[in-house]
Structure 1
Amino acid sequence: MPAFPRAELDQMIDRWLKENQRCEEAGDWRPLAGMYTEDATYGWNVGPGQDFMAVGREEIRDIALGQEMAGLAGWEYPYQKFVVDDRAGEVIGFWRQLAGATRPDGSRYEVAGIGGSWFRYGGNWQWSWQRDFFDFGNVSALYLEMITDNALSEGMRERIRRATSGRRLPGYFRRGQSPVPIW
C-alpha cells in the first residue's frame, strides 16, 4: 500500500464529506460511485452467515449505493471522526445512522452503537477499497421498533419487502464466498 501525503488524504476526506452531504440531501447516493476507482471493492458483513460485496465502480453504483440505499431517503449518516494512516493510505470514518422519522417523544430514530467505514485511498481523489462495519443486531432492533411504531416510509417498507422476499439479492454471499474477501 503506497503512502500518500497527509494533506491529500485530508482533502479527499473533505471532498467525500461534501459529496456525501449533497447525495444525502438528494436522497440518492449513487453519484458517490464517481469517487471510487474502476476496480474498487466495497463490502460489509451482514451477520454470522452472510457478507455483502460489490466489485467495480458500476456494482458500487448500482448495488451498494443504489439497491442497498434504496428506501433510506431522509436518513442521515453524519461522520463523527476520522482516523488517517498516511503511511498506508487508509482512513477510518466513524458515523451515526439517523432516520428521518421521529418517535412520539420527538427524538429521532437512531441505530445504536458505532458505525464506520474503512477506506483505502487509490489516488486521483478516489477510494480503491471500502469496508463498512456496524452492529446488524442494532439495525434490526431499530427497524423492528419503527415497524411497531408504524414509523416506516413507503421506501423503507419496500426495502423490507425486498429483503424478506426469499430471493437472493445481488451482492449477497454466504460468509467467505464473496468474489473478493472482506479482509
Structure 2
Amino acid sequence: MTFPRAELEEMVQLWLDTNRRCEELGDWKPLAELYTEDATYGWNLGPGQDFMAVGRDEIRDIALGQEMGGLDGWEYPYQQILIDEVKGEVVGFWKQVADATRPDGTKYEVAGIGGSWFRYDGNMQWSWQRDWFDLGNVTSIFIEMMKADVLSDGMKGRLERAASGAKIPGFYPRGEAPVPLW
C-alpha cells in the first residue's frame, strides 16, 4: 500500500516524540496506541527462540510492559531512519544506552547495531514491527552490569525469571510463534 511521504514522515516524528516521552517516564506502554488493534511485534532471540506479541493488548502488556520492564532509564536514540513510501515501510537504527555509568563515567551501551522495521497501516499506526539486535552484545553488557552491581531491580527480576525455566509469555520455540517473523 502506498502512502504519501509526508504522512510517513509525520508518523516517524510521532513515534520518535512518543518514544522520548516514554523514555522520560520509564514506561513504554503508551507506545501501544501507535499500533493497530491486530498489529504484531516480534524479534528473534537466537537460534532456537523467537518473541511475538499479537494484538495491541499483547504489544502493550508483553512487548512494552514485560519485555521493557527493568529497562527504566535506558535510552534508545535513533541514529538513522529510512522511509519507503511505496511499501509503507520504515526502518530505524538505534542504540541501547543504560542510565548506569562505569567508574570512568562512560555509560553502559550495547555494542553493535539495533533496529526496528515497521509496516505502516495509515491512521498514524503500525501494523507490525520487527526488531533486531545482537543478543551476544546484550548478554555481555548485562553480565558486565551484573558484576558491577548496577542492574536495576526490575532487570534482576527479569534475569531471575529467565533463569527459572518457567514459560514466559510471548516466547516461542523457533518457528512456532503464532505469526512468523517474515
TM-score norm. by structure 2 comes to 0.99
Distance 2:26 2:162 in 1: 20
TM-superposed CA distance for 1:159, in Å, is 1.6
Give CA deviations for 1:100-122 in whole Å, capped at 9, x if unaligned: 10011100000000000000001
Distance 1:107 1:8 in 2: 38
Partner of 1:69: 68
Distance 1:14 1:94 in 2: 14
Partner of 1:34: 33
TM-superposed CA distance for 1:163, in Å, is 1.6
Distance 1:156 1:176 in 2: 27
Q: How does 1:108-119 map to 2 (within 5 A)?
A: 108-119=107-118
Question: Secondary structure of 2:141's partner?
Answer: helix
TM-superposed CA distance for 1:72, in Å, is 0.6
Partner of 1:3: 2
Give CA deviations for 1:24-46 in whole Å, capped at 9, x if unaligned: 10000011100000000000000
Distance 1:163 1:26 in 2: 25
TM-superposed CA distance for 1:160, in Å, is 1.0
TM-superposed CA distance for 1:164, in Å, is 1.4
Question: Secondary structure of 1:69's partner?
Answer: coil
Partner of 1:97: 96
Give CA deviations for 1:96-151 in whole Å, capped at 9, x if unaligned: 00011001110000000000000000100000010000000100011011111111
Distance 1:120 1:77 in 2: 20
Question: Secondary structure of 2:92's partner?
Answer: strand
Distance 1:123 1:69 in 2: 26
How many residues are treated as equivalent by the alignment? Answer: 182
Partner of 1:44: 43
Distance 2:169 2:38 in 1: 18
Partner of 2:178: 179
- The share of aligned pairs that are identical, in percent, is 67
TM-superposed CA distance for 1:65, in Å, is 0.3
Partner of 2:120: 121
Write out the 4+ residue segments of structure 1 that deviate beyond 6 Å after TM superposition.
none
Instruction: Supply the AA of the counterpart residue of 1:91.
Output: V
Partner of 2:80: 81
TM-score norm. by structure 1 comes to 0.98
Question: Secondary structure of 1:120's partner?
Answer: strand
Instruction: Supply the AA of the counterpart residue of 1:141.
Output: S
TM-superposed CA distance for 1:166, in Å, is 0.8
TM-superposed CA distance for 1:162, in Å, is 1.6
Partner of 2:20: 21
Asked if 1:145 is matched to 2:144, the reply is yes
